[in-house]
């Protein structure tokens, strides 16, 4: 599995005065295996600038458990709200092959950060 991530700071949905920083992320998953795979569940580890860790586990992603064919790509967007200007996320998806074999697909660490103006 090839997993790529892009992130965006959501200024309009953030409220720095209340220590609330909203971010969007888009995940692109490419199945580089020979068989179709189904995304069963997700496991996120979200860490903010103060080293506060939040774990999120759940079935599927954005209410779906997509089946991704060989060579196909699945993309979705979601979001996270941190209490600090920066943080990071990493985790894994539990995938299942049509053969019934399950495996973990690691999601590489990515950073969530408020862009700063250059002085």
Write the pLDDT tens digit of every residue in 30-57. 999 999 999 999 999 999 999 999 999 9
pLDDT confidence of residue 118 = 38
Domain architecture of the chain: domains with CATH: 2-113 (2.60.40.1470)
Q: Which of 119, 54, 46 is nearest to 86 (CA)?
A: 46
pTM of the complete model: 0.91
- pLDDT in the model for residue 117: 41
Q: For CA atoms 54, 57, 63, 68, give the dihedral sign.
A: positive
């Amino acid at each position: 599995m090839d997993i790529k991530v892009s992130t965006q700071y959501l200024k309009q949905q953030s409220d720095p005065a209340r220590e609330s920083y909203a971010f969007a992320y888009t995940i692109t998953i490419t199945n580089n295996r020979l068989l179709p795979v189904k995304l069963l569940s997700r496991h996120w580890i979200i860490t903010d600038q103060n080293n506060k860790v939040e774990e999120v586990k759940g079935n599927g992603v954005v209410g779906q458990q997509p089946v991704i064919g060989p060579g196909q790509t699945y993309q979705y967007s979601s979001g996270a709200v941190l209490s600090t200007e920066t943080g990071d996320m990493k985790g894994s998806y539990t995938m299942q092959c049509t053969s019934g074999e399950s495996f973990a697909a690691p999601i590489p660490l990515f950073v969530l950060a408020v862009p700063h103006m250059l002085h």
